[in-house]
């Protein structure tokens, strides 16, 4: 038996309208991610530049960014920029971060973990770093040189260098690991372990690593990163305090 059409929908259905400008921006950015043109850790151009590219107002750009942030696709970092984040792809990494945090690793254990991970990052960076990556790393070291006497600034720049090195690998999973474990790695950069001596040692190690990365010498970059982490750990935790290391 045929049913009669439902009546009185005038107040329920709305006229079909053109897609709003900010929705078109959202669709384009999501399409670029689906095609692999935008990856985790990539930074978007500034709002003003995006508005020019899309030929829309900055308000439309901001609305698109807001929606993508709600979807956990973008993350805005004050003073830094807007970055692609793909949290839906990082369940394994999230589990690793929670597991390590749950175990309440000591600083010595954190260094052990870093010594497993970061030499490989340095080696991959030597293979994949672009001219832009090298420029960013060099800029960080120049600022680190200027801020040697500033404990807080040196700590942040130390972290920036290792994060930028991970980004230079071009491997989004490795970058997610480093970003998700940043709060744990910060324990090995705790204020009480900071000193001018450590800042100088850190800068020297970073300079040597960057030189190897710039020379595309993967083997030397790995070796130097291992030596760098060992030297910092020995300064922070004398060998008689980490016999199991």
CATH at 161: 1.20.120.530
Asked if the structure places residue 7 within a domain, the reply is no
Total domains, the chain: 2
What pLDDT score was predicted for residue 127?
97
DSSP class of residue 75? E
Residue 2 resides in a domain = no
Is residue 74 within 8 A of residue 68, CB to CB? The reply is: yes
Boundary (domain end) residue, out of 88, 114, 144: 88
Examine the domain organization and report whether 44 and 131 are in the same domain. no
Q: What percent of the chain has pLDDT over 70?
A: 78
Tokens of 220: 């030397």
* Domain termination site, one of 55, 70, 88: 88
Report pLDDT for 102. Answer: 47
Mean of pLDDT values over 158-164: 94
Q: Both 83 and 94 in a single domain? A: no
- Put simply, whether the predicted model's pTM sits higher than 0.75 gets the answer no
Please compute the mean of the pLDDT values over residues 138-167 and round it to a whole number: 92
CA separation for the pair 144, 113 (Å, rounded):
24
Taking alpha carbons only, the member of 138, 239, 238, 154 closest to residue 196 is: 154
Higher pLDDT: 183 or 29? It is 29
Domain membership flag for residue 11: no
Q: Is the pLDDT of residue 30 over 90?
A: no
Tell me the backbone φ, ψ of residue 43, rounded to 5 degrees: -100, 130
For CA atoms 205, 148, 121, 193, give the dihedral sign.
Answer: positive
Average pLDDT value for residue range 189-200: 74
Let me know: does 178 contact 121? Beta carbons within 8 Å.
Answer: yes
Pick 94 or 161 by higher pLDDT: 161
Tell me whether residue 15 is in a domain. no
- How does residue 181 score in pLDDT terms, banded at 50, 70 and 90? confident
**Is the Cα dihedral 182, 184, 189, 190 positive or negative?**
positive
Task: Report the CATH number that the domain containing residue 44 is assigned in CATH.
Answer: 1.10.10.10
Shared-domain flag, residues 95 and 165: yes
Give the gyration radius of the chain's Cα atoms. Answer: 23
pLDDT band at 217 (very low <50, low <70, confident <90, very high): very high
Q: Please give the residue range of the domain that contains residue 231.
A: 90-241
- Where among 52, 67, 88 does a domain terminate? 88
Q: Do residues 155 and 135 make contact, with C-beta atoms less than 8 angstroms apart?
A: no
Give a yes or no: residue 4 inside a domain. no
Average pLDDT, the chain: 82
């Amino acid at each position: 038996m045929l049913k009669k059409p439902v009546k009185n929908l005038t107040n329920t259905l709305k006229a079909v309208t053109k897609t709003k400008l900010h929705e078109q921006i959202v669709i384009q950015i999501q399409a670029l991610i689906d095609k692999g043109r935008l990856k985790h850790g990539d930074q978007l151009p500034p709002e003003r530049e995006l508005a020019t590219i899309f030929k829309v107002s900055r308000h439309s750009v901001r609305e698109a960014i807001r929606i993508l942030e709600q979807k956990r696709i973008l993350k805005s970092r004050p003073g830094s920029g807007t970055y692609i984040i793909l949290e839906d792809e990082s369940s394994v990494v999230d589990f690793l971060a929670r597991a390590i945090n749950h175990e309440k690793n000591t600083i010595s254990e954190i260094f052990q973990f870093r010594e497993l991970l970061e030499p490989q990052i340095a080696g991959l960076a030597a293979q994949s770093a672009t001219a832009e990556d090298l420029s960013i790393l060099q800029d960080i070291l120049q600022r680190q040189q200027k801020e040697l006497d500033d404990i807080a600034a040196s700590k942040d720049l130390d972290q920036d260098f290792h994060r930028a090195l991970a980004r230079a690998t071009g491997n989004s999973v490795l970058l997610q690991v480093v970003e998700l474990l940043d709060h744990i790695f910060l324990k090995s950069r705790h204020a009480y372990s900071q000193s001018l001596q450590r800042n100088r040692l850190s800068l020297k190690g970073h300079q040597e690593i960057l030189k190897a990365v710039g020379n595309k010498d993967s083997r030397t970059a790995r070796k130097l990163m291992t030596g760098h982490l060992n030297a910092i750990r020995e300064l922070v935790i004398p060998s008689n305090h980490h016999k199991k290391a």
